[in-house]
Structure 1
């Protein structure tokens, strides 16, 4: 399946559209170059595609998929990712307080602001030139809606990781940017919700295969639903993205609209969800596409993040970079019944390497849900495997969460959703009076290695207690710090703190 919408973005010369600078005050672009570029509808399409590319694929090695695997999955109780060596992910999993220069933390901040900058540029140029450039007003409205969605997507990602962040609703000079302090989360939410509410009416409900990957009306609704859920969740005693606002009914309505659209379906075969791509996969609500081995294509490498070199060698995919194992938590593995198809498909518990450096038999479990040799390209950076940000099963289970908070629906609806998920997994459909704790456990089994677990823990309001109980049970070598409320946010990158001394305060608890 070709993913066309990103190809033009790869062809853009890096003038003006790309910045590899770390400091926020270096992001604004030269006005002269911008003026020369936005002259045709094709220029606007390239600018839109470039915004998608940075928002979803990031700047350089990592993209959104890599980010959630490293900052959510690795941070969570699904993995005991400690190591004797010095690795960036060690500090993430072990809750070090000295990670303000961590590459994963910096990427989350820098890539999102680069994408926000591009979205702001695009919105400004549409306002300035759109009536002259676009002969069809619907094209102008759709492009505006996509830019608003991408800006909202990035700001929501930022506040979930960092809490307060600088709010920039327009392109700025370096001097202007150097005066913007961290904005209260409630004010950032105002822009996020406004952008999504303005975008949704002008987004199409679906796209053809050539445009797969562009955000649809229902992809935007899935984000808005999650925004309301996150705002509704307990504050955890920190200045983060959870505000305790009890807007579960608003979230339920957005998610219910997705269900009522009739465009999506719970896949009957769990394995097929991760192998069937594009419009043919009715689980796809919001998806980041990747294509391998094509000129100007964007190949992915997120499936390598949780991999292990001997496992790759066992399926004849060597030279992944001498990957160390990020050990799967024993408590997590023990949640599964022997017949659970999710574990059978998504976790390799034994494998053999016939020849070469890693020859031997292995019983160290490794996540393999997204590892598909059939979609391997020209190396570890070039996999043609799409990443589902939100799939339809997630929409239904989020609805169930809203229901249990009194947002709509009934207990019978919750039980039916969980039983549908269990039936597909090949385990007894015996859900009766499912509680929130039980629902989160079911989500943990359903969405492992998809980057949702840390966010689930945050929404539960029990992240600190759950993580400390996990540490006590599994951290036999004492490598992991005791988790506290401050651990639920990441630090502002040190490069941003130092760029304009005194402008940003650091999140509490970090060096």
Structure 2
């Protein structure tokens, strides 16, 4: 059984103590209760682990992996996920303007702020009570982890919503109700400061017992993505993209990961998604899950791009994936006939031999790269499959992207990276003079189903044109709404307007 930092006998005590607040203006712990809790080293360890859990696993059964698959993957040109039923993800895929009450969007907002609250609280208590942690090194690691997680959540928020309230301390509901949407540039100041502190103070690696804790190189990977997002075209919207030329800064962070020799380019594509723990040298930043623990640390992101008949073909219990999410024909047509990644990524023919879904399915391809029946536990929320937030192949391809923007490296480096990836997929090393368009197409095949596509579209500078070309090709039913620059941000959830009337303005283009 894997050991994860989230699995602690007393973890539920932290959740009971802190509770899962469901609004931004969450009610903080009473001063007395807080002080009583943060009185031992074990209290701080539990609080740190709870902060990880809030940031990665969310406040309910849906966490960051579920979010990224719905808000990035399903929103992109990788899926044409229309349905006859009313599903939360349909409005995401269809570019509806009435999304301010969408539960998936609300989850992204609320879960991130709950995690930010926990990170702020932990940082404050480390300052006032941290001397109960006997080892100064561990105290520094904990502060760096809390700083990383706060930055992680704020970066997630501004990529989805643009301007959001900047809250750097634990505040009362009355205090929060006076904080409006903060300029993105000001939020970036905190993100960069937090990430630099994390880079400077986290260790390069952990032992297996601490697998899942963020390392120096996980922080560098996120910092690189921050620089790349800041450098992306802003499309004339008030989002996370600032049009800055920081590709060299991103390249430096990514190259530090490369030359660390902590990570290895896997020779077998399928092994990336089957190998667990420190043995998986592709993992730079990972969210670990375990099944059959009884501690609620199993995942269920596998269901987001799944389909119930496929799960039934594996003799697994009901997963709730009753509506099929069609994969875009434009994506399916990209693969060379010899590309072995297609077989790892997709289940295109599968048979159910008994029960409700009896039959052979040939017209409903399913993303299977993360579906491993051997790591299935006791129900749909008990998968023990880790979610890779950033893998080494992504580091290399992001470096190539920075190179093509003049951030460092050479054209030969770019071509070598693409050819290494093609060769691993069973293809010829015939890529030369790779440009950004070719690189993004290669990324689309390599990372399909991993939640990167939306952000790739944004960075490409061609998101609107690409999505409208996809709409013309795929939307034969006329289900999709208008796709323009306003579509590149999600709306601030309606609940925030109701909680503090007059405090917020809505992102343009939404009802």
Report TM bin, short chain. over 0.9
Deviation, 1:20, is: 3.2
Match of 2:427 in 1: 427
Q: Which residue of 2 aligns with 1:396?
A: 396
Contact persistence 2:14–2:47 (CA under 8 A): no
- Tell me the residue number matched to 1:274: 273
| Paired residues of 1:6 and 1:297 also in contact (CA < 8 A) | no
Name the counterpart of 1:447: 447
Conserved 8 A contact 1:19-1:27: no
Alpha-carbon shift at residue 322 of structure 1 (Å): 4.9
Which residue does the alignment assign to 1:12? 13
| Aligned 8 A contact 1:347 1:367 in 2 | yes
* Greater CA drift, 356-365 or 384-393: 356-365
Q: Residue 153 of structure 1 corresponds to which residue in structure 2? A: 152
Equivalent residue number for residue 52 of structure 2: 52
Correspondences of 1:195-234 after superposition (within 5 Å): 195-234=194-233
- CA shift, 1:320, in A, is 1.4
Number of matched pairs: 509
Corresponding residue number in structure 2 for 1:292: 291
Relative distance call for 1:73 and 1:17 in structure 2 (3 A) is: same
Written as runs of structure 1 = structure 2, the 5 A alignment for 1:362-381 is 362-363=361-362, 364-381=364-381
Taking the aligned partners of 1:283 and 1:67, their CA distance within structure 2 comes to 22
Q: Residue 176 of structure 1: CA displacement? A: 0.7
Matches within 5 A, 1:337-416: 337-363=336-362, 364-416=364-416
Matched, 1:70 2:55: no
Aligned pairs for 1:152-171 (under 5 A) are 152-171=151-170
Structure 2 distance, partners of 1:73, 1:224, is 22
Distance 1:27 1:326, change over 3 A: farther
Name the residue aligned to 1:193: 192
3-state SS in 1 of match to 2:360: strand
CA deviations over 1:266-321 (Å, ceiling 9, x no partner):
11110010000110000010000000001325000001110011111111113112
Tell me the equivalent position of 2:335.
336
Measure how far apart 1:201 and its partner are.
1.5
- The answer on 1:307 being equivalent to 2:323 is no
Contact 1:3 1:290 in 2 (8 A): no
1:170 is paired with a residue of what secondary structure? Answer: coil
For the Cα contact (< 8 Å) 2:306–2:321, is it kept in 1?
no
CA distance in 1, matches of 2:366, 2:324: 7
| Cα deviation digits, residues 98-124 of structure 1 (max 9, x gap) | 111111100000000000000000000
TM-score (norm 2): 0.98
Counterpart of 2:133 in structure 1 is 134
Q: 2: CA distance between counterparts of 1:489 and 1:251?
A: 23
1:184 aligns with 2:206: no
Q: CA deviation at 1:429?
A: 1.6
Report the TM-score, using the length of structure 1 for normalisation: 0.98
More displaced stretch, 27-36 vs 435-444: 27-36
Distance between the aligned counterparts of 2:425 and 2:259, measured in 1? 24
CA distance in 2, matches of 1:322, 1:329: 18
CA distance in 2, matches of 1:405, 1:18: 46
Which residue does the alignment assign to 2:473? 473
State the SS of the aligned residue for 1:5.
Answer: coil
Q: CA RMSD of the aligned region, Å?
A: 1.0
The runs of 5 or more residues in structure 2 that have no matched partner are none
Contact 1:225–1:255 at 8 Å: present in 2 too? Answer: yes
Alignment match, 1:486: 486
Contact 1:3 1:213 in 2 (8 A): no
